[in-house]
Amino acid sequence: MSRPDPKNVKRVACIGTGTIGGGFVAQFLCSGYDVAAYDPGKDARDFLERLLDQAWPVLEKVGLKPGASRSRLHFTQDIEEAVAGAEFVQESVPEDLELKVRMYEKLDELVPPQIVIGSSTAGFPMTDIQKRCKFPERTVVTHPVNPPYLIPLIEVVGGEKTDPAVLDWTVEFYEAVGKRVLRMEKEIYGFMINRLQVALFREALHMIAADRATVAQIDDCLTHGLGLRWACMGPFATFHLGAGDSGLRSLLDSYGTVDWCAPYVTESPLPDLTPELLDRILQQAQEVIDGRTISKMVDERNATIIGLLKLREASRVAASQKQ
């Protein structure tokens, strides 16, 4: 049997409905799919409903696709029932390699071999996850940015035994969902998103450990500075502009002869996270949190991202009209 048309998938199964898995549920529902969600957790259904209660008004502001409805959700604690008839399976169980390996063994038994199974793993290579699969060729990493229903980007990368045609299929599928797909040709631990954000976080920890910055100062540096700029362009485009008329080429040429980054780069990969340092970080973080609940912070984050996305799209439309 051939795979379903990636642009005409009607039913998806979400295995695991925590923060990421539940975010995928919201993404698929708002994109007009029938969604079967499975999670064996005692309070899993209540958690998912609360997540949808918070996400749905946000998605209505962004714009629902035709057919989008929360009534198209079917929650079950029977995994066989969840995957029955699914044309794509999105796995989002907790980040435990052995747990994921066992889950893929189970899905191998229940899901027809032509159906693609994607993993939202934050760091494990698919090569490690698919190692005991009977049909490893249909398995692929589909790593989102939290919250999956709001941030467009998703990373797609296969393992050693993944069929390249499955990567093609997955890219087409998630483009139909409405995602901006970043297809990676080679596996790396943590993929691109987490390697970049962890590198920045590591440097922030070093500055705090050396008592050269506080949590609030670092957050301000990003939310009121670099983050706003990065919403429009990445580091290479930024440095291209920063180099003046000569552009990125001159900057890279000078980089080859003068290590101008050296004064800023820490020597050790991670500072010693002593109890004292952890206490200092957490105490300073409370100043940033400022008594807000997680729910309140999620609402503020979502509203900000919506504003940025709409503003960026309006700017692109305005620029195209001038041409």
Per-residue pLDDT tens over the stretch 275-302: 888 888 888 888 888 888 888 888 888 8
Please give the pLDDT value at position 260: 52
Q: What is the pLDDT, as a whole number, of residue 268?
A: 59
Closest to 21 (Cα-Cα) out of 42, 61, 51 = 51
Asked if residue 255 has pLDDT above 90, the reply is no
Residue 239, pLDDT above cutoff 80: no
Instruction: Parse the chain into domains and list their residue ranges.
Output: 11-189, 192-291
Bridge partners for 15 per DSSP: 38, 91
Q: Token pair 């946000």 is at which residue? A: 58
Q: What is the model's pLDDT at position 257?
A: 52
Is 0.85 surpassed by the pTM of this model?
yes
What is the topology classification, in CATH, of domain 11-189?
Answer: Rossmann fold (3.40.50)
Strand ranges in 39-191 using DSSP code E only, listed in sequence order:
73-76, 88-91, 117-119, 139-144, 153-158, 180-183
Pairing of strands 34-38, 117-119: unpaired
Whether residue 183 is predicted with pLDDT greater than 90 in this model: the reply is yes
pLDDT surpassing 80 at residue 244: no
The CATH number corresponding to 192-291 among 3.40.47.10, 2.40.30.260, 1.10.1040.10, 3.40.1480.10 equals 1.10.1040.10
Residue 199 or residue 115, greater confidence: 115
Whole-number percent of the chain with pLDDT over 90: 67
Q: Report the C-alpha gap between 219 and 111 in whole angstroms.
A: 44
- C-alpha distance from residue 112 to each of 4, 84, 160, 286 (Å): 12, 9, 21, 49
At 3, list the tokens: 């795979």
**Element (DSSP H or E) covering residue 14:** strand 11-15
Task: Identify which has the larger pLDDT, 287 or 105.
Answer: 105
Mean pLDDT across the chain: 90
